[in-house]
Chain A
Amino acid sequence: MSEIRPGRDRGRKPVSLTHAAQGVVSTQDAVWQVIRQFPGEFAHRDVCRAAQGVMKTGVNDDTVRSYLRRLAAGGYLESRDQKTSASGKPLKGAARQRLYRLVRDTGIETPRLTRDGQPVTQGQGQESLWQTLRILGECNAQELAQTANNARVAVSLADARHYIKHLHACGYLVMTSRNNGPHSMARYRLLPSRNTGPKAPQVQRIKVVFDSNTGETHVPARHQKGGPE
């Protein structure tokens, strides 16, 4: 099997190859974690240093800077330029830096924000589907879609079918009754052992399921080595 080299030629890194998969928080999570703990103002440099401590690896300065910008745009941080040093001496040139202060702490959940500070909407549909699956326990695609679809998130029958199909292939759901014919729908039940937590398992582009609750990637049974064909 050829090695997959993330981040070079293929745009965004697949989530299963990021830090989340290794049981370590992502840079963004680490940044959010550390800025919640700063007592007062902090600079980009402080964040980088503290985040490195959390992640136990180097962090990319630009990743941190871009996330700080997004947080500021979203009203989570206030910022100002530092004009004088702590002792009151005026600062010039590169010694000047931007100071941030956390003004809106929304708890443990890392805000996912776009460049202009709006909440990221990607993944909301699967979040709604996953939560509904966990609450209903057993359902078919139709029931799942109509319960998960609400005023906040639009979920179609096709979305529900897609999600169920891949969760079933990767062993999250068991089929309790088969689809036998054009006017019936298979029913599925969520396995209690696979009720792994609040974060929705993500169906990746190559149709494997990444579970960010556990950091595991689940491959469909038919693709596993030595598994049944």
Chain B
Amino acid sequence: MSETNRSVNLPSVAPLQNVALAESVMQQLIDRPSHLPGMAAFFGPSGYGKTIAASYVATTYRAYYIECKSTWTKKAILLAILREMGVMPATTIYQMVEQVAEQLVLSGRPLLIDEMDHIVEKKAVELIRDIYEASNAPILMIGEEQFPAKLKRWERFHNRMLVWQQAQASDLDDARELANLYVTQPDGIELADDLLEDVLRHSRQAARRIVVNLELIRKQALRQSWKYVDRATWADGQLYTGDAPARRRVAV
């Protein structure tokens, strides 16, 4: 676990498109000149690997990470952040905002807020702005597809954003990388590009569904002792699409 030991070829999610995007957004926030706004949004449909990206970014930059819950109030958000920081919470909300801001300024660590949608619908958005105004710290918010539209209502918030980054649908490179991480590295099974294209199509380019399909293929390949799987080998094998099953019809 040493920092210098980089010679070993360790598996990493770093080459995935969305992980790299989230990382570059965070880097932009950190490198920005201080007169530019310091908040950013990373948003996209569920299953695109946003949380994996968030996790990678949080550990890389030692960000304070919170994941919002639908039941959270302003106070709950502040308590969660303070808990992450290890600061004993003060009693009132405005004092807590000051505590959070102070710790962000002194430590220089960024703040990462996942599932931000949950608190956009409440007044809590203003709270995040208060924290930002008081600390000028980099704040990365992660949310679902509708997140920017929901934020539009809060104009004062809206123009403090440095970057709006949409999570990208997986492409063939991502599929190759996932196949490498989940199939080739653990079990030494190679997957051909034509099969990966099918996987991409059936998964509608969502990373989570791609992983499910890769697992299907991996299991079948192990059963059949395939070392190399392409479209022809897979033949009529089913792939997972994530669709709910259709109504069954009685055969006439």
> Which A residues contact B (CB, under 8 angstroms)?
105-109, 121, 124-128, 131-132, 134-136, 142, 145-157, 159, 183, 185, 197-199
**In-complex Cβ contact of B85 among A108, A124, A149, A185 (8 A):** A108
**In-complex Cβ contact of B59 among A105, A109, A128, A199 (8 A):** A128
**In-complex Cβ contact of B83 among A157, A185, A197 (8 A):** A197
By the criterion CB–CB under 8 Å, are A142 and B59 in contact?
Answer: no
14 residue pairs from A and B, CB less than 8 Å apart = A107-B106, A108-B85, A126-B1, A131-B59, A135-B58, A142-B181, A150-B60, A154-B6, A154-B8, A159-B1, A183-B186, A197-B86, A198-B86, A199-B86
By the criterion CB–CB under 8 Å, are B2 and A198 in contact?
Answer: no
- Apart from A152-B3, A154-B5, what are 7 other A-B pairs with CB-CB below 8 Å? A107-B85, A108-B107, A131-B58, A132-B59, A135-B65, A146-B12, A147-B56
User: Known contacts A149-B11, A154-B10: does B52 contact A142 (CB below 8 Å)?
Assistant: no
> Which B residues contact A (CB, under 8 angstroms)?
1-3, 5-6, 8, 10-14, 51-52, 54-56, 58-62, 65, 67, 83-87, 102-103, 106-108, 114, 181-182, 186-187, 218, 222
Residues of B within 8 A of A155 (CB): 1, 10
By the criterion CB–CB under 8 Å, are A145 and B52 in contact?
Answer: no
**In-complex Cβ contact of A149 among B12, B51, B52 (8 A):** B12
Residues of B within 8 A of A127 (CB): 59
**What is the bound-complex CA distance between A148 and B84, given in angstroms?**
18
| Chain A residue nearest in CB terms to B57 | A150
Residue with the greatest number of chain B CB neighbours at <10 A, chosen from A106, A149, A150: A150
By the criterion CB–CB under 8 Å, are B51 and A150 in contact?
Answer: no
Shortest C-beta distance, A90 to chain B (Å), equals 38
The 5 closest A-B pairs by CB, nearest first: A125-B1, A107-B106, A107-B107, A135-B55, A146-B11
Residues of A within 8 A of B222 (CB): 183
Residues of A within 8 A of B12 (CB): 146, 149-150
Residues of B within 8 A of A157 (CB): 10-11
Residues of A within 8 A of B61 (CB): 152
By the criterion CB–CB under 8 Å, are B106 and A153 in contact?
Answer: no
User: Known contacts A107-B107, A124-B3, A131-B59: does B10 contact A149 (CB below 8 Å)?
Assistant: yes
| Chain B residue nearest in CB terms to A121 | B3
**In-complex Cβ contact of A132 among B55, B62, B108 (8 A):** B55
By the criterion CB–CB under 8 Å, are A106 and B58 in contact?
Answer: no
Residues of B within 8 A of A124 (CB): 1, 3
Residues of A within 8 A of B106 (CB): 105-108
User: Known contacts A126-B1, A142-B11: does B55 contact A106 (CB below 8 Å)?
Assistant: no
By the criterion CB–CB under 8 Å, are B52 and A106 in contact?
Answer: no
By the criterion CB–CB under 8 Å, are B1 and A135 in contact?
Answer: no
Residues of A within 8 A of B65 (CB): 131, 134-135
